Structure 1
Amino acid sequence: MKLANVLTLILFAAIPLNMVAQTGSNAQTTGQNTSGSNSQSARPFPTTNYYRSPYARPPGYKPGDYARQAYMRQMQQEEEKRHPGRSQAEQTTQGQVGQQTQQSRRAEQGRQIQSAVQTYLGVTPKGDTSKGYTYQDTVSIDGMTRTFQCHLPPGYKSLRNMPVVLVFHGLQLNGSMMMFLSQFNPVADRNNFAVIYGDGIGKAWDDGHAGRGIDDIGYVGKVIDKIANTVSVDRKRVYACGISNGGYFSQMLACAIPDKIAAIGVVGSTLMQQAANGCHSNRPMPIMFFLGTSDPLIAWGSSGASTANGELNELVDLVGAGKFGGVESALARYGGIMPVPEMIEFWTTHNQCGSARPYISNEPDRDPKDGTRVRREAYGSAGREVILYRIENGGHTWPGGLPYASSGLAGKISQDINASETLWQFFKTHSR
């Protein structure tokens, strides 16, 4: 992954560099400054709300400059604490050594940042198969070159018939940001499967609403072919999941290419009425949902979105739905979004689940402080399951993951269940 891509990822997610800049044993070798001292010691990555960081984005900042300045301020402050007076002396010396030395230091600073970020992401050189490998690749379709991000587990060169999980971002995100949000890479490393994070054109996906004019379905087929020609994968165990707009798109895949997808996962999405009307597949599709009762973009009752979150308008603008004509148009009328009960009825009918009565159980309250509880509703038998994790008080978020929007805006993130881990446990039991 290129440094520029990594920095863009961090800045758009508003992650404080002083938190991300870990330097374990691998990073210390790379992250030495020109005086020969090691870079700053490892820090734990925040598992709670990181948007209140002192490094939150100020108005009008330039990503590259701000990242470098914020990182170096932190480095200088820590150096001053360890060695009072040295930082000022180094600044005086730097002013004397000339432009060449300044460029050398700047290059070294860049390497330190890159090393720190790679340490967190688990990115390693391509030849090192002892750790997971994350990279960007491309496919060509309809005259366009489109990108995707791929993460392979440790020892990927010797693994045979790896399952593949396709993960799709929401509006105004991209694949790299989805990698952070979902935290799917560690799950892949523990269970030996590949993860692909798609990049939507215009940071959006075909969700069933007419008029987009982009062949996202064809793009996914090309991506599956590309990874199958790169490493050994099992085409019968390819799964798709996503959040928000990516969740709508995942359901589109279930209807459009059921011969290529073995199971589906959906977070923070219901179903477009147009997509349901155009779903002519007769193949049952195992599907799992994670939906928050306080998600401002989800309708639990009559058609249209809930207004439980008082900052709904701001969230709509943030995720890009506002360009379709405001809250009412974007959510209640944009494509005809199904409320949750209608969507569940659609999929239980599609999968021929039989009895409309689900098996209901409550998940343990693993984190009482998160303000959520999780109820599991399961319909249908093996190969036809429709499973809903109802997140009481949950927001437009990825359970067990990182925030989707700015501080508090998208609602509460349940830590009682990890969506990525739970999806994998569901996926691995299904094959085409």
Structure 2
Amino acid sequence: MKKLIICSLFTTVSLFLLIACGKKKDDAQEEKVYRVEGTITVDGRERTFLLNLPPTYYTGSGFSLVIAMHGGGGSATQFETSSRLTQKANTENFIVVYPEGVKSTGPLGARTWNAGTCCDFAVTNNINDVKFIAQLIDKLVADYKINPKKVYATGHSNGGMMSYRLACELSNKIAAIAPNASTMVVTQPCNPVRAVPILHMHSVLDEHVPYNGGTGNGISGVYAPPVDSVLDVWSSKNACATKAQVVVNNSSYQFTQWVNCSNSTLIHYYLTKDGGHAWPGGLPGSLNGDTPSKAINANDLLWNFFKQYQLP
């Protein structure tokens, strides 16, 4: 009897250890990843991006994707830090990806986007950044739980310019855009296949990309068309029946909108009277960067704007 009890006890302990070991193995296999530093190859060139998944990713589905593009000379990690967009994405449960422009071969290795006439290395070498973003969207939609109808683009400076180019050439993949401290500098006719909702943010103190047009001190002598004229062009493309209306004009900012547009599309324009060439509500983009506006918060505005829209 004593021998039988000992054997039974040994068997029970062995089973417990086996189950415990098996459980640890399963837990390791189910390790959840929320941050991805990825690459894809486009036209024989390796392109890089940083992806952030929200805390609810593994229990949810049908997530929105925001494509956030850094300014000229910036990077994915730099723009993530200065914009604080990841914190907003984690709170509001959307996916954000920070793609990177190509790095120049010069001593600074500055990354830029080919938005048309700007900027630098990407333009000089005719980098097809539209193709890069199109393939990146396809990859992320295939690999992650993203609703393909809820893909949006935003960006600062050169990245904002790239947002406008995407609105012109990828309106079948991008539901809305929110450029900051930028303008539209496309060199080919802008022919979106549908009306594109636009939220533009700028500061009257921006000397790099002047809101009223001209050659700023940060884009290598490239002429920047006035923001008003750019948005007037888009109001025509979006078939807006109502001209620009100033809704708010106080000591902090001016808010202008174009309404009664095709497919209930809106165009919003926030012009702050503080800040400079920086992400409103964020951090300076560099040690010598301009102080961001405190009059508005770019992340709050863009997300409230984006979530109103999806592709048909």
Task: Please give the TM-score of this superposition, normalised by the length of structure 2.
Answer: 0.80
Question: Cα 1:380–1:174, aligned 2, differ >3 Å: closer, same or farther?
Answer: same
Distance verdict in 2 for CA 1:151–1:337, change over 3 Å? same
Q: Which residue of 2 aligns with 1:261?
A: 174
> Residue 385 of structure 1 aligns to which amino acid in structure 2?
L
Following superposition, the deviation at residue 282 of structure 1 comes to: 4.3
Deviation at 1:357, TM superposition (A): 3.2
1:414 aligns with one of 293, 303, 306: 293
SS of equivalent to 1:164: strand
CA distance in 1, matches of 2:29, 2:286: 33
For 1:162, the equivalent position in structure 2 comes to 63
Unpaired runs of at least 5, structure 2: 1-27, 104-110, 118-122
Give the CA deviation at 1:128: 5.3
Q: Which residue of 1 aligns with 2:139?
A: 226
SS of equivalent to 2:182 = coil
Task: Identify which of 347, 351, 365 aligns with 2:234.
Answer: 347
Aligned to 2:114: 206
Provide, for residues 70-108 of structure 1, a one-character-per-residue CA deviation record: whole Å limited to 9, x for no partner: xxxxxxxxxxxxxxxxxxxxxxxxxxxxxxxxxxxxxxx
Paired residue secondary structure (2:268):
strand
Q: Distance in 2 between matches of 1:361 and 1:264?
A: 22
CA RMSD of aligned residues (A): 2.1
Mapped contact 1:126–1:133 kept (Cα < 8 A): no
Alignment of 1:265-280 (within 5 A): 265-272=178-185, 274-275=186-187, 277-280=188-191
Q: Which structure features the higher share of strand residues?
A: 2
Match of 2:130 in 1: 217
Aligned AA for 2:199? M
| Residue of structure 2 equivalent to 1:244 | 157
- State which of 175, 197, 204 in structure 2 corresponds to 1:286: 197
Please state if 1:393 is matched with 2:274: yes
- In 2, Cα distance between equivalents of 1:126 and 1:206: 41
Once the two structures are superposed, residues 363-390 of structure 1 have per-residue CA deviations (whole angstroms, 9 ceiling, x without a partner) of 7xxxxxxxx7122111124642111011
Q: Which residue of 1 aligns with 2:13?
A: none
> Kindly, what percent of the aligned residue pairs are identical?
29
TM-score (norm. length: structure 1): 0.59
Question: What one-letter code is carried by the residue in structure 2 that aligns with 1:289?
Answer: H
Deviation track 1:287-322 (CA, whole Å, cap 9, x = no partner) reads: 001100010023343x4146xxxxx4xxx3xxxx4x
> In structure 1, what is the Cα distance between the partners aligned to 2:147 and 2:225?
34
Structure 1: unaligned runs, 5 residues or longer: 1-124, 307-311, 322-329, 364-371
Provide the aligned length of Structure 1 versus Structure 2: 270
In 2, Cα distance between equivalents of 1:405 and 1:280: 35
Supply the distance in 2 between the matched residues of 1:126 and 1:358 (Cα, whole angstroms): 56
Question: What is the CA–CA distance in structure 2 between the aligned matches of 1:264 and 1:239, rounded to whole Å?
Answer: 6
Note the C-alpha offset of 1:416.
2.7
- Asked if 1 retains the 8 angstrom alpha-carbon contact of 2:246 and 2:254, the reply is no
Distance (Å, rounded) in 1 between the aligned partners of 2:155 and 2:224: 17
Q: Is the 8 A contact 2:79 2:285 kept in 1?
A: no
After superposition, the Cα gap between the structure-2 partners of 1:128 and 1:292, relative to the gap in structure 1 and judged at 3 Å, is farther
1:357 maps to 244
State which of 177, 192, 214 in structure 2 corresponds to 1:304.
214
Distance 1:127 1:216, change over 3 A: farther
Q: State the SS of the aligned residue for 1:346.
A: helix
Q: By how many angstroms is 1:359 displaced?
A: 4.2
Over 3 Å counting, the alpha-carbon distance change for 1:226 and 1:126 in structure 2 is: farther
- Structure with the largest fraction of helix: 1
**How big is the shift at 1:233?**
0.7
2:44 corresponding residue in structure 1: 143
Q: Give the CA deviation at 1:415.
A: 2.0
Residue 272 of structure 2 contacts residue 296 of structure 2 at CA under 8 Å; is this kept in 1? no
1-structure distance, mates of 2:45, 2:99? 15
- Kindly provide the amino acid, as one letter, of the partner of residue 112 in structure 2: A
Q: Per-residue displacement from partner, 1:110-163 (whole Å, max 9, x unpaired)?
A: xxxxxxxxxxxxxxx99555xx82220111111122110000001312211101
Deviations 1:391-425 (A, max 9, x none): 11330010011102334x42x31223210121011
Paired amino acid for 2:171: P
- Identify the residue that residue 18 of structure 2 maps to in structure 1: none
Counterpart secondary structure, 1:135? strand
Relative to 1, partners in 2 of residues 1:343 and 1:162: Cα closer, same or farther, differing over 3 Å?
same
Q: Stretches of 4+ moved more than 6 A in 1? A: none
Secondary structure in structure 2 of the residue aligned to 1:148: strand
Measured against aligned partners, the alpha-carbon deviations of 1:237-282 in whole angstroms (never above 9, x if no partner) come to: 000000000000010000111100000000100111x44x521224
